Amino acid sequence: MSEHPSRQWFVVQTQVNCEAKAAQNLMRQGFEVYLPRYLKRRRHARKIDFTAKPLFPRYMFVAIDMATQRWRSIQSTFGVARLVSNGDDPATVPAGVVHALKAREDTKGFIQVDARLAFAPGDKVRVLAGAFIDNSGLFNGLADHDRVSILLDMLGRKVRVLLDVDMVAAV
């Protein structure tokens, strides 16, 4: 975005699953939009792939020059639910927020999300899918990049099991 003194970022709430449609329609009207996306790991039929998803589902940023652009047309844009406002005036995004998000993008334009585990060694966990679904165990540690090691109590003894990260949740 070329810096313009009266141009600021605002937040648009979109209709469900209409982020791309709303962005396209806003760009046709001459607005600059920013829809931050990330690659979500998806597991289906024993295969793992990655799909682009909005970082903030149903929300995107739009740059508006309040002095020259007719911002009220955003409210009736196809795919847009509303422009987030404080009373009658659109609510501005604090300076630097959009720039900070763009700085976290990789070369393909996706935000890099830190995949930190929600539990530490010794924490109780529950298996969410697979052959051991609904079993509880203890988190043992990371096995590799996408797998965790947990200890399940089976037949009176602790058995170490390796599972995908997304198959385990903290209890």
Residue pLDDT, tens place only, 75-127: 999 999 999 998 888 999 998 999 999 999 999 999 987 666 677 888 999 99
**Could you tell me the CATH number of the domain that includes residue 41?**
3.30.70.940
Residues 47-53: what's their mean pLDDT? 84
Is residue 83 located within the same domain as residue 128? no
In a domain, 119, yes or no: no
Is residue 90 located within the same domain as residue 37? yes
Q: How many residues does the chain have?
A: 171
Given 103, 135, 157, which residue is the final one in a domain? 103
In a domain, 115, yes or no: no
Is residue 133 located within the same domain as residue 86? no
Is residue 95 located within the same domain as residue 140? no
In a domain, 128, yes or no: yes
Is residue 60 located within the same domain as residue 99? yes
In a domain, 89, yes or no: yes
Is residue 35 located within the same domain as residue 71? yes
- DSSP reduced 3-state for 76: helix
In a domain, 117, yes or no: no
- DSSP reduced 3-state for 93: coil
In a domain, 112, yes or no: no
Burial per residue of 31-62, b for 16 or more beta-carbon CB atoms within 10 angstroms, e otherwise: bbbebbbbbeeeeeeeeeeeeeebbeeebbbb
Checking if the pLDDT of 4 tops 80, the result is no
Q: What local confidence, expressed as pLDDT, does residue 49 receive?
A: 83
Is residue 56 located within the same domain as residue 137? no
* pLDDT level of residue 18 (50, 70, 90 thresholds): very high
In a domain, 1, yes or no: no
* pLDDT level of residue 1 (50, 70, 90 thresholds): very low
What residues have CB less than 8 Å from 33, skipping those under 6 apart?
Answer: 12, 23, 26, 27, 60, 61, 62, 63
**Could you tell me the CATH number of the domain that includes residue 159?**
2.30.30.30
Domain, as residue range, for 28: 7-103
Checking if the pLDDT of 129 tops 60, the result is yes
Residues 44-72: what's their mean pLDDT? 89
Q: What local confidence, expressed as pLDDT, does residue 40 receive?
A: 82
The string of pLDDT tens digits covering residues 132-165 is: 888 999 998 887 666 888 999 888 888 899 888 8
- pTM summary value: 0.68
Is residue 75 located within the same domain as residue 37? yes
Given 74, 103, 132, which residue is the final one in a domain? 103
Q: Which two tokens stand for residue 54?
A: 């909005």
